[in-house]
Chains A and B, each alone.
Chain A
Amino acid sequence: MSGSQERFPRGKTAIVASATYGIGEAPGLSSLDLAVSASTRALSSVGLTPQDVDGLFIGLPDDYLSGLSFTEYLGISPRLTDNNRTGGSSFQTHAIHAALALEAGLCDVALIAYGSNQRTASGKLVSSLKPSPYEGPYKLARPVGGYALAASRYMAQYGLKKEQLGEVALAARRWAQLNPDAFMRDPLTMDEYLGSRIVADPFSVRDCCLVTDGAAAVVMVRADRAKDLAKRPAYVLGGAAAAWHKDITNMPDLTVTAASLSGPRAMAQAGVKPADIDVVEVYDAFTLNTILFLEDLGFCAKGEGAAFVEGGRIAPGGTLPVNTNGGGLSCTHPGMYGLFTMVEAAQQLAGTAGERQVGGARLALAHGNGGELSSQATLILGTEETL
């Protein structure tokens, strides 16, 4: 695929604050209440208030006009409101647009926010998607069935053992055990994983992300101001998005995601390669995702991801720390998870991740996925040393 030379403003902007709120269950609060709670915590941690925000990036699950709702709720007046919705990858695209807008002076303080009360409000994934008239009658449970179809194809093309999917679930759980905020922290054994109820072949319950409440927020400013606000900002070194379908049916090859486009572009902008990355945060809506994204982002070759995750390689103590907060599988999944990968990446680079801190982390990747392996967006973040 050809395109013009990308001129991403490498290192010109940074995440200076990040916060989560209400991970797990937060009864009695709306999605907007939750997003505001995370936002005010992130802002106040660096001495800012909502009225300092002049670039707002948001996409609540149940409110198409959430950019306006949030503006009204906090009585702010953004110069730039971005409501882009590409599913769970929306927030990576927000960060890309925020970097461009900050650099161009279209805003000075960008806030990216998300919140959902789906667990306590409805107990299931809140989706605004309507099934296509050509697909609805076949009653595919979505999104799980769409990802299960991709898994069947991967199995047929490359071979994939249930235990290899299990390695992803077990690694996520072991990271979650190091994260006091994670929703599921009980030990998970391979026997328990293999014994969990099948939902859509080959996926069982433990291959699927959680259904939780939760909110997250990050604050971005230009690099020249970042050090005044934060001790260890996470500089945005590269960011790229790609998409080529919505429904799984129309994905060109069900074993290759558009992360194979977004990842290399983001890394080229940042001037890094996969082997340089210290911490990897990818959107694990299902266990298969982690395997596909590790391949498509270049950490291993296509078809080798299942073997790559064996032996605890991505678990605590393994050679490649992946989803260090416990991921969507064991930490939180309030409908859209992309922003949580960014929060965790920023906190790892800030050195504030507590028991799960990856020592000396300088480069982090935060990858978002939207729809049914549809929209893919990759951010590369780095500490001051990487500028």
Chain B
Amino acid sequence: MTDHSKDPRPQQEYFAHLAEGRFMIQRSRSSGEHVFYPRVAAPRTGAQDLEWVAASGLGTVYATTVMRVRPPASAYNVCLVQLQEGPRMMSRVEGVPPESVKVGMAVRARIARDDEGQPLVVFDPAEGAKQ
């Protein structure tokens, strides 16, 4: 049996980085293209040369909505953030009412914890940041 134990484990590695306080994304060494979500091969080229790099954490809201859940639960934001490096990710913007999150808003990443205590990336408005 071929030993694949040294091959990348993208999902495990992503969440391990996050648990240690690092928001990392992948970059293909050959093309320089950044990739999110984590994969074993780069899109289109199939290159298996994806390496972890620290995300700048800066991004722009590409699309946004408000989940109007039934009371007593309160409405919350879900948005797509275009990272400065190129890829998009689903997340939410915190610290402002969900309906005031706007397309084009500059945001900055922060690592938070979900209801189960798992680390996840959320965003805050990046005041004064260039859009």
Contacts and interface: CB of A to CB of B under 8 A. Distances in A.
Interface of A: 132-135, 137-141, 145, 148-153, 155-156, 197-202, 247-250, 254
A152 B64 contact: yes
Contact of B90 (A135, A153, A199, A200): A135
23 contacts: A134-B14, A137-B120, A138-B78, A138-B90, A139-B76, A141-B67, A145-B65, A148-B65, A149-B79, A151-B65, A152-B64, A152-B65, A153-B63, A156-B63, A156-B103, A156-B104, A199-B68, A248-B63, A248-B80, A249-B80, A250-B88, A254-B63, A254-B80
A124 to B, nearest CB: 14
A248 B80 CA distance: 9
Contacts of B49: none
Contacts of A139: 67, 76, 78
Given A140-B78, A249-B80, A201 B91 contact: no
Contact of B89 (A141, A153, A155, A249): A249
Interface string B64-93: 111110000000101110000000111110
A134 B89 contact: yes
B65 A200 contact: yes
B76 A149 contact: no
Interface residues of B, number: 28
B45 interface: no
Nearest to B102: A156
Interface of B: 11, 14-15, 36-37, 62-68, 76, 78-80, 88-92, 99, 102-104, 114, 118, 120
A149 B78 contact: yes
Contact of B68 (A198, A248, A250): A198
Given A149-B79, A156-B103, A249-B90, A137 B114 contact: yes
Given A137-B114, A137-B118, A149-B78, A201 B66 contact: yes
Contact of A254 (B62, B68, B92): B62
Which has the most chain A C-beta neighbours within 10 Å: B15, B67, B68? B67
Given A138-B78, A199-B68, A152 B63 contact: yes
